[in-house]
């Protein structure tokens, strides 16, 4: 069974993914209605025991709407006319997602607004307020 290495200690195997070939909506002319060239790759994130739990959590965050309720990441590839190219594209996108999930996030260092940015903000508020004030109906006093 082929192993796909993510980090030094994390990988997934061929058994963790399944592929389904479906009709493509992309290029292909009349042939697109006859040939199932699009690939729907499913990665069983919840069932994968070889991935680091931190990578699993981050991958679930990055997957967003591609993550199902059962814990599967679904990647659909229909960019190419060729089934093999779509297959490799889907696998490459899964690898990129998992590699990105394995990278440590740099902690954000909070910064304070500069004096100039505060001044610009207040000037904008004053300008906007004067525009709104000029739109009012004139008082009869």
Say which CATH number the domain at 59 has.
3.30.160.20
H-run or E-run covering 61: helix 53-63
90 within 8 A of 79, measured Cβ to Cβ: no
List the structure tokens of 118: 């505060």
Residue identified by tokens 């389904």 is 20
Q: With respect to residue 139, please indicate whether it lies within any of the assigned structural domains.
A: no
Q: With respect to residue 132, please indicate whether it lies within any of the assigned structural domains.
A: no
Q: With respect to residue 75, please indicate whether it lies within any of the assigned structural domains.
A: yes
Q: Domain range for residue 8?
A: 3-102
pLDDT tens profile 132-141: 999 998 887 7
pLDDT for 36: 83
Residues 25-52: b if buried by 16+ CB within 10 A, e if exposed: eeebeeebeeeebbbbbbbebeebeebe
Q: With respect to residue 84, please indicate whether it lies within any of the assigned structural domains.
A: yes
pLDDT tens profile 39-82: 999 999 888 888 888 888 999 899 989 888 998 999 999 888 88
Calculate the average pLDDT of the chain: 88
Three-state DSSP class for 16?
Answer: helix
Residues in the chain: 141
Q: With respect to residue 112, please indicate whether it lies within any of the assigned structural domains.
A: no
Q: With respect to residue 129, please indicate whether it lies within any of the assigned structural domains.
A: no
Counted domains in the chain: 1
Calpha distance 97→73 (Å, rounded): 10
Read off the pTM: 0.70
In DSSP notation, 77-121 reads: E-SSSSHHHHHHHHHHHHHHHHHHHHSPPPPP---PPPHHHHHHH
Q: With respect to residue 121, please indicate whether it lies within any of the assigned structural domains.
A: no
């Amino acid at each position: 069974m082929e192993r796909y290495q993510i980090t030094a200690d994390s990988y997934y195997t061929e058994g963790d993914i399944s592929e389904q070939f479906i009709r493509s909506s992309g290029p292909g002319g009349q042939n697109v209605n006859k040939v199932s060239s699009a690939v729907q790759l499913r990665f069983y994130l919840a069932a994968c025991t070889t991935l680091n739990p931190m990578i699993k959590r981050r991958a679930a965050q990055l997957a967003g709407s591609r993550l199902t309720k059962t814990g599967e990441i679904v990647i659909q590839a229909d960019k190419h006319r060729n089934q093999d190219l779509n297959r490799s594209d889907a696998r490459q996108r899964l690898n990129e997602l998992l590699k990105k999930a394995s990278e440590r996030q740099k902690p954000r260092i909070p910064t304070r607004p500069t004096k100039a940015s505060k001044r610009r903000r207040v000037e904008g508020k004053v300008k906007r307020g004067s525009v709104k004030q000029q739109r009012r109906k004139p008082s009869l006093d």
